[in-house]
């Protein structure tokens, strides 16, 4: 299990929606974590599965680059 920088980040990355089996379809899911790349991103809700990489946590300000 990955240790995220704060409880808010963990809640947003690991959140599951009962109405949307795919996190990219859920408007309440904001952050994606790509474990194989150790990258965080803000989900782009445009019908696809893209995200915009972020370098700092929006909640606690921690550096996200190189976090494992």
**3-class SS of residue 10:** helix
pLDDT of residue 65: 77
Separation of alpha carbons 40 and 51, rounded Å: 8
Structure tokens at 25: 């379809």
pLDDT of residue 31: 96
pLDDT of residue 3: 84
Q: What is the CA radius of gyration of the chain?
A: 12
What is the value of pTM for the model shown?
A: 0.82
Burial of 28 (0-12, 13-18, 19+ CB in 10 A): exposed
Which residues are within 8 A (CB) of 2 and not within 5 positions of it... i.e. 6 or more apart?
A: 33, 35, 68
Chunked into runs of 10 residues, the chain (68 residues) has average pLDDT values of 86 92 93 92 94 96 78
């Amino acid at each position: 299990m990955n240790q995220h920088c704060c409880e808010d980040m963990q809640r947003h990355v690991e959140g599951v929606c009962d109405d949307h089996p795919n996190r990219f379809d859920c408007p309440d899911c904001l952050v994606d974590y790509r474990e194989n790349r150790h990258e965080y991103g803000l989900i782009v809700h445009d019908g696809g599965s893209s995200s915009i990489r972020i370098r700092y946590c929006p909640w606690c300000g921690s550096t996200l680059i190189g976090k494992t």
